[in-house]
Amino acid sequence: MSERFAAAPADPYRFGVYLRPDPHTCMAVTQLTGQLRAQYGLVSAAAFPPHATLVGSQHLDVPTADVVKAVSAALAGSSAFPVHNSGIVPMGHGYVYDVHHLPDGSPNDAFVELAAAVDDAVAPLVTPAPNPDPHLFDRERFRAHLSLASHDLMVRPDLVDEVGEFLRGLPVEPPAAFAGDAVALYRTRSDDWTGRWWTTLTWEHVHTWRLP
């Protein structure tokens, strides 16, 4: 029985390590993604809990306790830091809250360093598996963000401008800043990671770390 249900290189699970925003910001993200689902049927961003990805969609073919142990070690020297929300901006094929930049427009180096530390911790645990993207960490390309509308717009490019206008018209005001003090591990699942994975995505919360 244990062999029958053992994890395999092509199993449907992936892990993500996320920075969880404050409750007020989480509510704002949920309001916006929920409204986009209700108005346009967009489900990609709404399928996730509100989060800023540190390391995303990694196939970690090890016991979950080993993942928790590795990330715990990586976070041992980390402290909470201020996160600035620069508002709704276009990113890729969709829209996000920009939480990568400080009020003066410079990158939030504390955010980048936290993502780099988590990536260093989980990289040795990664086993190759089908993915739509390799999800390799790149310090220069990393952009901390909270997704509002994403992969759905790859297949509905005709909605990009309309969705951006709609988002900016919604009366939702998140805090201008929050403390980056909560890091969470989630396990995600999809029936097909090589295709439109967001249509079958489910997730479960595994562990939360609070940064001092």
Distance CA 138, CA 119 (A): 10
| Section 87-102 average pLDDT | 96
pLDDT band, very low/low/confident/very high, at 6 (cuts 50, 70, 90) = very low
Residue 2 lies in a domain: no
Strand 81-84 to strand 88-91: parallel, antiparallel, or no bridges (unpaired)? Answer: unpaired
Number of structural domains the chain divides into: 1
| Section 120-149 average pLDDT | 85
Residue 4 has pLDDT above 80, yes or no: no
pLDDT band, very low/low/confident/very high, at 2 (cuts 50, 70, 90) = very low
For the entire predicted model, the pTM comes to: 0.91
pLDDT band, very low/low/confident/very high, at 134 (cuts 50, 70, 90) = low
Residue 6 lies in a domain: no
Q: Two tokens at 63?
A: 């016991």
What torsion do the CA atoms of 84, 87, 89, 95 make, to the nearest 10 degrees? 100
pLDDT score at 88 = 98
Distance CA 95, CA 150 (A): 7
Which residues span the domain enclosing 195? Answer: 13-210
The residues, ordered by sequence, that sit 6+ positions from 23 with a Cβ below 8 Å of its Cβ are none
Mean model confidence pLDDT for the chain: 91
Distance CA 86, CA 159 (A): 23
Residue 3 lies in a domain: no
Angle at CA of residue 44, ends 43 and 47, nearest 5°: 75
Residue 107 lies in a domain: yes
Residue 7 lies in a domain: no
Distance CA 27, CA 191 (A): 28
Q: What is the CATH number of the domain that holds 168?
A: 3.90.1140.10
| Section 148-157 average pLDDT | 94
Distance CA 189, CA 16 (A): 11
| Section 178-195 average pLDDT | 92
| Section 42-71 average pLDDT | 94
| Section 187-208 average pLDDT | 90
Distance CA 87, CA 80 (A): 21
Residue 1 lies in a domain: no
* Residue in 158, 151, 160, 153 with CA at minimum distance from that of residue 196: 151
Residue 67 lies in a domain: yes
End-to-end CA distance of the chain: 43
What are the φ/ψ torsions at residue 136 (nearest 5 degrees)? -85, 135
Residue 205 lies in a domain: yes
